[in-house]
Amino acid sequence: MGLLAVMIVFNCKLEETKTLVSLLKNFENNQNIFERFKLIIYDNSKIIQDIDFVIPFNYEYIHNPKNIGLAGAYNHALAEGSKYFSKWLLLLDQDSSLPADFISCLSDTTLEFENDKTVFSIAPKMFYNDALFSPSKVIYGGIHRPIDKNCTGFCDFEVFAIGSCSCVRISFLNEIGGFNGVFWLDCLDRWLYLKIKEKGGAVYITDSHIKHELSVLDYDKFINKERYVNIINYESLFMKLYKSKPENIIYYVRLLKRIFSFGFGPNKRIYSNITLRHLFSLIFQTNSRFKFDFLKKQILYDR
């Protein structure tokens, strides 16, 4: 098998997912390349879907109403890829508009680096409303800044990319024990690219431009109270586990700025209040469940 992809679906009809629709256009553009391609559709929705339309390439549909998030689905695909000796795992979600030559170009790139074991990830350029947001440069304090739009290839700085549309080497994933189930939904990609850095791997940035709907870039459209609570909890957990004390202080300042920026928007005041209570619990360590239970799970995972 050449390229294995896993697409996470949640509460969306398959025929309406931008990712699958654009994959079908990729198939029309170059059918031959899909002879070495397989898609695992991992559906975390409550209700199973009937696929009453033609998907003209190799695929597998898996329904799991428990909604195990990203890590569990990715690890299932990783096991499949390892079993069939795939070398790369392409991570997809349902909200990416892929260019018609995306799979062809990605296949060429994976072949180019097939035997270069130093390349752990291949990442395209991701845009929302014409603004580039991934990949980004990792700055001290957990701050990310988008790379230059013209930047392609390898960078001489620490690179982060969102999980969506990242293509990751399977041997590396097996080496680190798969995807970290602690970060079951949020910050899993931050953890992944931190591991790439720790293992000395390289990230290759392609010139593919992908339109993607990233939740944190549009709170009015994509975020609700429960979603934001999960985001900020795991964001803070990542900082506590993997960043230094001075970097966490910088993070607290960033949360303070977020409180004020949310406060100016009438539809975002609820997020300002959540952030204020969360910052208070971080500083005064009042949230014992967050402090101890999550850390205990992480320690067990790292063993």
Q: What residues form DSSP beta bridges with 90?
A: 5, 167
How far apart are alpha carbons 95 and 213 in whole angstroms? 6
Query: What pLDDT digit, counting tens, does each position of 146-170 carry?
Result: 999 999 999 999 999 999 999 999 9
Band the pLDDT of 292: cuts 50, 70, 90.
very low
pLDDT at 302: 53
Residue 1 in this model has a pLDDT that exceeds 80: no
104-161: per-residue pLDDT in tens? 999 999 999 999 999 999 999 999 999 999 999 999 999 999 999 999 999 999 999 9
Average pLDDT over residues 3-24: 97
Stated pTM of the model? 0.94
For residue 295, name the pLDDT band (cuts at 50, 70, 90).
Answer: low
Residues in Cβ contact with 284 at an 8 Å cutoff, skipping those fewer than 6 apart: none
List own/partner pairs for 228-233 with CB under 8 A and 24 or more apart.
228/271, 228/274, 229/274, 230/185, 230/186, 231/186, 232/274, 232/275, 232/278, 233/186, 233/278, 233/290, 233/294
Show the DSSP H helices in the chain as ranges. 18-29, 69-83, 102-112, 170-175, 188-198, 219-222, 225-242, 245-263, 269-284, 288, 294-302
- Backbone conformation region of residue 179, classed left if phi is above 0, alpha if psi is from -120 to 50, else beta: beta
pLDDT band, very low/low/confident/very high, at 303 (cuts 50, 70, 90): very low
Is residue 291 over pLDDT 90?
no
Per-domain residue ranges of the chain: 3-216, 218-302
Write down the CATH number for the domain with range 3-216: 3.90.550.10
The residue written with tokens 């230059």 in the block is 148
Question: 42: part of which helix (H) or strand (E)?
Answer: strand 37-43
301 band by pLDDT with thresholds 50, 70 and 90: low
